[in-house]
Amino acid sequence: RTPIIIQLPIVPRKVEVIISPVGSDSAKLKTLDIGEIADKIYTLESSGGKNDGCRKLGLFNGYGYMQSTFHWKCYESQEEVRMLVINWLLENISKYGLEQALCRYNQGTITNDCRYVVNYKSL
């Protein structure tokens, strides 16, 4: 009879978003798996956590979230930073679309095409 310990937050592994088309009625709805997008960002930013600079401090951030020449943020758990990235993606993809959101995530600027999108699509 050992006590059961539940560690929070419980993070969904798969979050889907439906993006409605703008323009013609004949366009089809597109479903995006936000969890899969976050996984690909994790791969691009730190080779799946292998190059996570926060790990040296006992912390996590393999997503490159809130890390730049201006600040370097690390988090207590992998789940915490993943949820922040998923929330960021939900907000920005709905505003800018996937490709512009990815460029903004990586460069901080909104463009229609960037090397990050090319690398993302290659995964």
d(CA 85, CA 87): 5
User: Is the pLDDT at 1 greater than 90, yes or no?
Assistant: no
**pLDDT, position 117:** 94
For 25-41, write each residue's pLDDT tens digit.
445 556 889 999 999 99
> For residues 75 and 7, which has the higher predicted lDDT (pLDDT)?
75
Query: Three-state DSSP class for 84?
Result: helix
- Counting Cβ atoms within 10 Å, is residue 32 exposed (0-12), middle (13-18) or buried (19+)? middle
User: Is the pLDDT at 17 greater than 80, yes or no?
Assistant: no
Q: Average pLDDT, stretch 4-21?
A: 55
Q: Which two tokens stand for residue 6?
A: 């539940």
**pLDDT, position 70:** 86
For 70-123, write each residue's pLDDT tens digit.
888 999 999 999 999 999 999 999 999 999 999 999 999 998 889 999 999 999
Q: Average pLDDT, stretch 44-50?
A: 95
d(CA 14, CA 35): 5
**pLDDT, position 14:** 59
For CA atoms 96, 102, 108, 74, the dihedral sign is: positive
This prediction has a pTM of 0.75
Q: Average pLDDT, stretch 60-65?
A: 96
Q: Average pLDDT, stretch 48-65?
A: 94
